Structure 1
Amino acid sequence: MKRRAHGIKPTKIEIIPMIDTMFFLLVFFLLRSLDIINLESLGINLPKESEITRPKIEKVEKQVTVAIKANSFVYVNNRLTEYEDVGKAIIREATAQERARLKQPTAVLSEKAIEKMSVVIQAENGVKHGLVVTCIDSARSQGVQRFAIAVDQRLVNDKENAPAPPPGP
């Protein structure tokens, strides 16, 4: 016969708190990775060559940033660009970044890489909505599908400088 001492209970491993902790860590690292945006741009003057000999780039590691100033100047990775040519400039910048990263000066972006690439749009206060839409349309015409609009979190979280609510009815 088996006898147990009074007051000693068999130990149980609770799995639910462990799952909660792992989920919290997963969410934390995902949200943290969204904050990391590299705003560097690389200027590379590459020789011309036929597309047949060029290796295809299947994945773009960095985002391309489009900054729109209040005076309607548009910058793609800190380079002044006409807003009608934003799509071509985005592809040019992404290609230059990936060529430098892969150390293959003749590589070109594949359609798959262009579709998966992210474009971050930073528009100053006072920029007309139509200009932002024109830049997005120009990028979409080149095959870009993923966009993000950057906001200043300090302004979002700043309660003291928030505008007054509209008057009630």
Structure 2
Amino acid sequence: MKISTLRNDRKPKLMIIPMIDIIFFLLVFFMMSTLYMVEQHTIPLNLPQASAQTVQTEESISITVLPSGNVLFNNEEELTLPMLKKRTQLALHNNKESAFVLHSDKQAEYGKVVAILDELKLAGVTKIAIATDRKER
């Protein structure tokens, strides 16, 4: 004869959905917090604006023209125009498919930008892009 008890013999259930929510919250928290841990070295530039904009995905070499007219290669070394040509040829020797992105401030002299473009062409560069900001409509 079976004796009935008031106890329920159901096994406890593990609620997985709230645990997944907490894990995703922690993941987002740590991703966002690591963004502020990385020190970013940037040069303040006022780029010209353009309506059409393309995104460059491959590794590129940055050439920056500051408002003072100084030229930076990969945001590190300051170069003159003849040195820029030699440095560009060295970069092309290491990787023939290198793409160069020209960052020029709005206040930089137009003649300086044209001279840099000429030096890049003389050095044998075939992939040149000019960086711009998206124009607000």
TM-score (norm 2): 0.52
- In structure 1, C-alpha distance between the alignment counterparts of 2:81 and 2:119, rounded to whole Å: 8
TM-superposition CA deviations, 1:116-163 (whole Å, max 9, x none): 43110000011111101111111111111221110122xx12x5xxxx
When residues 35 and 147 of structure 1 are mapped into structure 2, their CA distance, relative to the original with a 3 A threshold, is closer
* Alpha-carbon distance in 2 for matches of 1:139, 1:35: 18
Unaligned ranges ≥5, structure 2: 1-53
For the 8 Å contact 2:89–2:124, the answer to whether it is kept is no
Q: Identity percentage over the alignment?
A: 20
Structure 2 equivalent of residue 84 of structure 1 = 82
| Secondary structure, aligned partner of 2:132 | coil
Q: Structure 2 matches for 1:125-140, cutoff 5 A?
A: 125-140=106-121
Name which one, 1 or 2, has greater alpha-carbon Rg: 2
| Alignment partner, residue 147 of structure 1 | 128
What is the CA distance between 1:35 and its match in structure 2? 4.7
| Contact 1:63-1:117 at 8 Å conserved across structures | yes
> Is the 1:67–1:121 contact (alpha carbons within 8 Å) kept by the matching residues of 2?
yes
Going by fraction, where is helix more abundant, 1 or 2?
1
2:106 counterpart of 1:109: no
CA contact (8 A) 2:62 2:100 kept: yes
Instruction: For 1:74 and 1:152, locate their aligned partners in 2 and report how far apart those are by CA, in whole Å.
Output: 20
Which structure exhibits the higher relative contact order, with contacts defined as CA atoms closer than 8 Å and separated by 6 or more residues? 2
1:123 alignment partner in structure 2: 104
1:68 to 65, 70, 73: 65
- Backbone CA RMSD of aligned residues: 2.3
Aligned-partner Cα distance in 2 for 1:35–1:148: 9
TM normalised by structure 1 equals 0.43
Contact conserved, 1:85 with 1:138, CA < 8 A, in 2? no
Residues matched between the structures, number:
83
Structure 1 residue runs of 5 or longer lacking an equivalent are 1-32, 37-60, 96-107, 160-169
